[in-house]
């Protein structure tokens, strides 16, 4: 009896233990499942589908391969926000990238008058040598801050070509910023004049690398225009600017639009410059052009704040008065208006015997032919003397007729016309009582505007004159000059047909070499803007030091030979290299013959002020390094007095083995 209760109690305790274990296990499994579901849902909602969640009791395991360390951290943080972070076992791995993305190689160079700064990343395979060499070849570079680093990655296909072009641009531009990428080169620079900007652009537009985008941004300072002048004409031939100036881009665009509305056709240009008399210049010009268009024909001229409206002969008085009144009221206060209504010319007694006319014709060779009528006495002789002073007495053919009753101011107008004619390459100046007309051709694109401004200043705004000067690119000393490559090619062609040789043991120019120099001397005057080297070379026969001296002496002999042929040699440098740069093997007679030579080739990094700058041997060996250092030339320089009045008053040793 006593054992039965004991057994029942023991069984109850056992059953309770089993139930407790079962319930604890059930609850643990439920907690694991809920934790796994909650964390999994949270991770998937955050786009982290790569994560795997599992549990073992109270511990929750995070597995999977995260795309980055940041993604793995976000997964652990999100799980820790749901359950106690101490329960999380983070077994996430970070995905390994098989290949590291190559960097974008680039070089930024800033060149100023005081120094040069370089920063960037370049391929280790090309290294820093190209950049360092380019810096060393820049004369007077100043302080250099070189912060370029290298990275061991494959060289982009167009990197070398882009870098070479960028460094060439850097050598050419004294004040510039050059940025080089593998597929793009950006060049920003400041020029000292419009002509220099044109030369820079002409140089950099040649030899641009294929597959590389080149962006050129070269600015020129705005000129000071004195006086600030504009002249717009409407006649039977149409409407046109004889000269045009504006102070801003906006004003220029408005002025051109007004001219087009008044009937002007074709490409209209207006120079932007400094010296405007009023910020309301654009408003005043537009208003005046509109007024002239209402009249139909005539000329409106601005000289600073003075405005002159010249109506066409035959304009009605009422229409003229109305337009002048409306324009006077519409112009800004700073501008003053003068209206001119021409009256019909009255024939004088002498005019019946023939028209009063003076014609000056300037031919292509600079010869002036002056015909027509001049005043009697000292006044007429002063015009003739002025013509001889401008064009040269030997080139002036004067056969004029003196008369007593020419219109007032005839001689002043004649001298102004002659000076305007001296500014073109060829043309004709025709002076008549009612007008002065200048026809001609020039190599200066701005000549027509400058001549118009000059005549307006000398004759007055109300004077009637017509400037028909055409720009001819063939006469432009900058646009038509030979490129450095063309200069070297022409000389190389001459040397291909006849080699410059020396007699054995001699450094004197013989007859054969003299004939070659004669032909080269004909080419060099057109290449004064190109810096070239006359390089002397020998074969390896004889001692090295004597070969070097021999090559230098022969290069000097060629330079002196050109000088004796009246060639300006300021752009030439003679340099001897001895036997250091052979073209062929010195083991054969043919090879030694090729190595004994005189070459003309371009200099690198030289300027007109750097006559001692010589390119490295390695660069010069190819003979294909380019520099454009063009200086401004003039088609036919002549003395130009400051004013007509002032001018009128002034009118009164070696080896035998190296032949």
Share of the chain above pLDDT 70, in %: 85
Our measurement of the distance from residue 335's CA atom to the centroid of its chain's CA atoms, rounded to an integer in Å, reads: 37
Neighbours of 312 (CB within 10 A): 18
pLDDT reported for residue 352: 42
Q: What is the DSSP string of 394-439?
A: GGEEEEEEEES-PPTTHHHHHHHHHHHHTTSSEEEEEE-SS-EEEE
- Of 449, 475, 501, which residue is a domain's last? 475
Q: Are residues 488 and 618 in the same domain?
A: yes
- For residue 359, what is the DSSP state? E
- Does any domain span residue 634? no
- For residue 264, what is the DSSP state? B
Q: Are residues 489 and 511 in the same domain?
A: yes
Q: Are residues 209 and 243 in the same domain?
A: no
**Distance, CA of 501 to CA of 175 (rounded, Å):** 43
Q: What is the DSSP string of 507-560?
A: -S--HHHHHHHHHHHHHGGGGTTS-EEEEEE--S-S-HHHHHHHHHHHHHHHHH
Q: Are residues 276 and 193 in the same domain?
A: no
Q: Which is more confidently placed, 155 or 503?
A: 155
Neighbours of 415 (CB within 10 A): 24
- Burial of 1 per CB tally in 10 Å (0-12, 13-18, 19+): exposed
Q: Are residues 516 and 617 in the same domain?
A: yes
Res 309 pLDDT > 60: yes
Q: Are residues 62 and 121 in the same domain?
A: no
Per-residue pLDDT tens digits for 86-137: 888 888 888 876 556 678 899 999 998 888 899 999 999 999 999 988 888 8
Q: Are residues 496 and 610 in the same domain?
A: yes
- Of 453, 475, 497, which residue is a domain's last? 475
Q: Are residues 446 and 574 in the same domain?
A: no
**Distance, CA of 313 to CA of 431 (rounded, Å):** 18
Please name the residue that has the structure tokens 């290069």: 555
Q: Which residues contact 242 (CB under 8 A, 6 or more apart)?
A: 231, 232, 233, 448, 449, 452, 466, 467
Share of the chain above pLDDT 90, in %: 33
Please state the rounded mean pLDDT for residues 265-288. 92
Res 629 pLDDT > 60: no
User: How many domains would you assign to the chain?
Assistant: 5
Pull the structure tokens for residue 274: 């400094």
Q: Are residues 202 and 111 in the same domain?
A: yes
Please state the rounded mean pLDDT for residues 616-620. 36
**Distance, CA of 639 to CA of 647 (rounded, Å):** 10
Q: Which residues contact 489 (CB under 8 A, 6 or more apart)?
A: none
The CATH number of whichever domain residue 74 belongs to comes to: 3.30.1340
Domain hosting residue 66, numbered range? 18-94
């Amino acid at each position: 009896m006593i054992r039965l209760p004991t057994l029942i109690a023991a069984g109850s305790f056992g059953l309770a233990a089993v139930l407790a274990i079962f319930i604890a296990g059930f609850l643990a499994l439920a907690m694991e499942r809920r934790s796994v579901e909650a964390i999994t849902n949270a991770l998937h909602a955050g786009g982290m589908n790569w994560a795997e969640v599992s549990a073992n009791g109270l511990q929750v395991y995070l597995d999977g391969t995260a795309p980055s360390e940041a993604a793995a951290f976000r997964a652990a943080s999100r799980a820790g926000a749901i359950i106690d972070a101490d329960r999380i076992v983070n077994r996430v791995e970070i995905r390994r990238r098989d290949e590291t993305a190559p960097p974008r190689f680039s070089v930024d160079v800033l060149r100023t008058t005081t120094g040069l700064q370089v920063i960037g990343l370049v391929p280790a395979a090309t290294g820093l040598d190209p950049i360092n060499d380019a810096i060393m070849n820049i004369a007077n570079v100043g302080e250099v801050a070189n912060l370029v680093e290298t990275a061991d990655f494959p060289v982009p296909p167009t990197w070398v070509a882009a870098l070479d072009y960028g460094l060439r641009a850097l050598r050419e531009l004294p004040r510039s910023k050059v940025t080089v990428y593998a597929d793009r080169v950006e060049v920003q620079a400041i020029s000292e004049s419009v002509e220099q900007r044109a030369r820079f652009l002409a140089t950099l537009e040649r030899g641009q690398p294929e597959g590389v985008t080149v962006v050129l941004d070269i600015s020129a300072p705005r000129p000071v225009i004195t006086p600030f002048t504009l002249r717009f004409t409407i006649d039977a031939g149409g409407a046109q600017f004889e000269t045009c100036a504006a102070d801003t881009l906006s004003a220029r665009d408005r002025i051109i639009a007004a001219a087009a509305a008044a009937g002007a056709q074709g490409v209209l240009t207006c120079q932007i410059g400094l010296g405007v008399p009023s910020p309301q210049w654009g408003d005043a010009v537009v208003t005046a052009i509109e007024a002239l268009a209402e009249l139909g024909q005539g000329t409106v001229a601005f000289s600073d704040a003075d405005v002159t409206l010249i109506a066409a002969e035959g304009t009605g008085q009422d229409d003229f008065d109305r337009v002048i009144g409306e324009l006077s009221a519409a112009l800004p206060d700073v501008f003053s208006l003068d209206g001119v209504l021409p009256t019909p010319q009255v024939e004088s007694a002498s005019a019946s015997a023939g028209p009063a006319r003076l014609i000056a014709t300037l031919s292509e060779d600079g010869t002036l032919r002056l015909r027509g009528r001049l005043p009697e006495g000292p006044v007429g002789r002063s015009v003739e003397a002025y013509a001889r002073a401008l064009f040269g007495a030997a080139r002036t053919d004067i056969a004029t007729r003196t008369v007593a009753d020419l219109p007032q101011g005839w001689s002043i107008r004649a001298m102004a016309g002659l000076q305007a004619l001296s500014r073109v390459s060829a043309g004709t100046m025709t002076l008549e009582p009612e007008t002065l007309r200048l026809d001609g051709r020039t190599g200066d694109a701005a000549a027509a505007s400058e001549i118009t401004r000059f005549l307006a200043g000398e004759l007055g705004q109300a004077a009637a004159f017509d400037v028909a000067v055409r720009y001819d690119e063939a006469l432009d000393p900058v646009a038509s000059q030979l490129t450095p490559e063309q200069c070297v090619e022409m000389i190389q062609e001459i040397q291909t047909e006849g080699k410059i040789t020396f007699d054995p043991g001699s450094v004197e120019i013989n007859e054969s070499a003299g004939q070659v120099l004669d032909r080269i001397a004909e080419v060099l005057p057109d290449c004064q803007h190109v810096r070239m080297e006359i390089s002397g070379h020998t074969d390896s026969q004889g001692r090295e030091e004597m070969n070097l001296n021999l090559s230098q002496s022969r290069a000097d002999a060629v330079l002196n030979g050109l000088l004796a042929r009246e060639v300006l040699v300021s752009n030439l440098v003679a340099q001897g290299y001895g036997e250091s740069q052979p073209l062929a093997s010195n083991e054969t007679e043919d090879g030694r013959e090729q190595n004994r030579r005189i070459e003309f080739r371009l200099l690198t990094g030289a300027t007109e002020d750097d006559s001692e700058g010589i390119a490295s041997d390695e660069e010069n060996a190819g003979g294909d390094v380019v520099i454009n250092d063009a200086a401004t030339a003039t088609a036919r320089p002549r003395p130009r007095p400051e004013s007509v009045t002032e001018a009128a008053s002034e009118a009164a040793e070696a080896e035998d083995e190296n032949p």
